[in-house]
Amino acid sequence: MKPNRDVGIVGHGAYVPRFRLPASEVARVWTDGTGGLPIKEKAVAGMDEDTATMSLEAARNALARAEIDPAQIRAVWVGSESHPYAVKPTSTIVAEAIGATPDTLAGDWEFACKAGSEALQASIALVGSGMADLALTIGADTAQGRPGDALEYTAGSGAAAYIIGPREKSLAYFEASHSYVTDTPDFFRRPYQHFPQHGSRFTGEPAYFEHTLAASRALLEAMGRQPQDYAYAVFHQPNARFPQKAAKTLGFTTEQVKPGLLVPLIGNVYAGSSLIGLTAVLDVARPGDKVFMASYGSGAGSDAFSLVVTDAVLERQKRAPTTQAYIARRKEIDYATYVRYRRKLHIH
């Protein structure tokens, strides 16, 4: 897919909460410290943080890099599966807080971990059609895992924000994209349930790998590209193993993937996972670099994107904190504190 008008990223920003829960602490409580650990630690939102507050922090960083008037933004779209309200948009809270209201679109997106990249596709289309010059896309989550479940090791918190605008104003522009979806029930949460369920046998081959590889291969083939044409590659990161296996299967190297592979240190940020990996890449990319990104969302689908970094990236990288700076700003907590912060103990 390619819009009629070339568009790109005018500003990007990330936010990662400072609290960290080591995976070994989860294992200590639930398995007496036995068994392997899928990551080192994950980021945990504080008691005063949620998808709205994290989205706002990431959006402010994106605005700082873009140096635009927020009133010019014609769409604010937030993708998440942990919106703070069941019925009340997160997007209007963010739009009001940054000064984008009232003359703008606003809406919340849902497609499991693909909600953020789905909103990104819509922003590319909106700006690419000429209906708007600027749109704000956010992927954010305070991901939930049932206590003792395998997801609890990896379900993290964080946000990534992108201001999409015309190519001539961009620090990186989109060459093309491809989306691939099927009805594959690998992960879901029913109404009134606090925690999601996952179909373990669906999670890998028929879900993550089928969709991620199919979207990626279709885009590479359509563009006549090879993995070695790219400086960086970013994939959705439910754990450390899946994105590295997908990259290797496609022909990408460890060196291409490493700068955007954040899951070992912050966990799976769900709707922000691939998007926050991309922010880390844009923090270090150089003009002319090509970047490949493929998201994944349960249910199931993948969005693959091809980007080219422009000369504007060098100056804009300095205007806001880097993603790695947020990762380095950490405070370790124990399991009991984590339970309190994420309100996993319900008293009636």
Contact 11, 64 (CB under 8 A): yes
Number of DSSP helices (H) and strands (E) in the chain, helices first:
14, 14
Contact 269, 276 (CB under 8 A): yes
Which region holds residue 99: left if phi is over 0, alpha if psi is between -120 and 50, else beta? left
Which amino acids are annotated catalytic? Answer: 81, 113, 236
Contact 15, 46 (CB under 8 A): no
Give which of 242, 58, 48 is closest to 139, Cα–Cα. Answer: 58
Residue spans of beta strands (DSSP E) within the chain:
7-15, 19-22, 41-44, 75-79, 105-109, 135-142, 157-166, 172-181, 187-188, 197-198, 232-235, 290-294, 301-309, 331-332
Backbone angles phi, psi at 239, to 5 degrees: -160, -175
- The CA-CA-CA angle for residues 319, 320, 325, to 5°, reads 135
As a whole number of angstroms, the distance between CA 291 and CA 233 comes to 6
Neighbours of 102 (CB within 10 A): 9
